[in-house]
Amino acid sequence: MKLYRLLTEEDTSAFCHKVTAALNKGWELHGDPAYAHDAATGKMRCAQAVVKVVPGDYTPDTKLGEH
């Protein structure tokens, strides 16, 4: 099955570490990163989609962060 995750975080090094951790667990980048201003906090937020192919069948109970 092919898994999809959207990683998000404030525009800090924490976002880069989150994406780096996913890449080191075998996830692959999917598309370009996105940036948006969060008017409620006044900060920029980042998003990056990642995908990974793993054995098995998808169910809504699949724990994406465990792969």
Segment 28-49, tens digit of pLDDT: 999 999 999 999 999 999 999 9
Closest by CA position to 23, among listed 7, 46, 44, 2 = 7
Q: Which residue has the higher pLDDT, 63 or 20?
A: 20
As a whole number, mean pLDDT of residues 15-25 equals: 96
Rounded to the nearest angstrom, the gap between the alpha carbon of residue 48 and the centroid of all alpha carbons in its chain is: 5
- What pLDDT shows up at residue 66? 82
Give the per-residue pLDDT at 64. Answer: 84
What is this structure's pTM? 0.87
The residue that leads in pLDDT, 20 or 59, is 20
Output the CA–CA distances (angstroms, integers) from residue 18 to 34, 36, 53, 57, 67, in the order listed.
Answer: 15, 18, 19, 26, 14
Q: Which two tokens stand for residue 2?
A: 């092919």
